[in-house]
Amino acid sequence: MIYLTRHEHFNAAHKLYNTNWSPEKNEEVFGKCANANWHGHNYDLMVTVKGEINQETGFLMDVKVLSKIIQEYVCEHLDHRNLNLDVPFLQGKLPSTENVAVAIWHQIVPHLPEGVKLHRIRLYETPRIGVDYYGE
């Protein structure tokens, strides 16, 4: 079993706000991310796939194909967008790093070539804060 990681970036705006709560509670729980007029993050996305090495190519999969899948099904939908308003696959979800990572998992899985499995979505919202999602 070999693991292959592709690193991508996107920039997006969001706010974290639970409408069932008072402004004070939102401020307490979400801090600056509750700012009513949005704010942005430079997201770092690392997508790791796993499988067996193809003996003819020496590759797990063509990394250009992996990059294209990430671009087409993830980054084109998220880059320079408002995660609360613009992204159909995030509708109805609070766009926390956790929820965005899980949504990215589901965007990628159906498009991987046969024999290649998604292993991990690693999403960093800032250089110091990120999440890992392994599909469970």
Binding site for Ni ion (CB under 5 A): 33
Residue 33 annotated to the active site = yes
CB of 82 to Ni ion, least distance (A): 12
Contacts of 33 by beta carbon, 8 Å cutoff, 6+ apart: 14, 15, 16, 39
**Which one-letter DSSP state was computed for residue 134?**
-
Q: What share of the chain is helix, strand, coil (3-state, %, to 5)?
A: 35, 30, 35
Cβ count within 10 A of residue 47: 24
Q: Exactly one of 7, 9, 39, 80 is catalytic; name it.
A: 80
- Smaller CB distance to Ni ion: residue 1 or 36? 36
Q: Exactly one of 14, 33, 41, 75 is catalytic; name it.
A: 33
- Smaller CB distance to Ni ion: residue 11 or 54? 11
Residue 80 annotated to the active site = yes
- Smaller CB distance to Ni ion: residue 71 or 99? 99
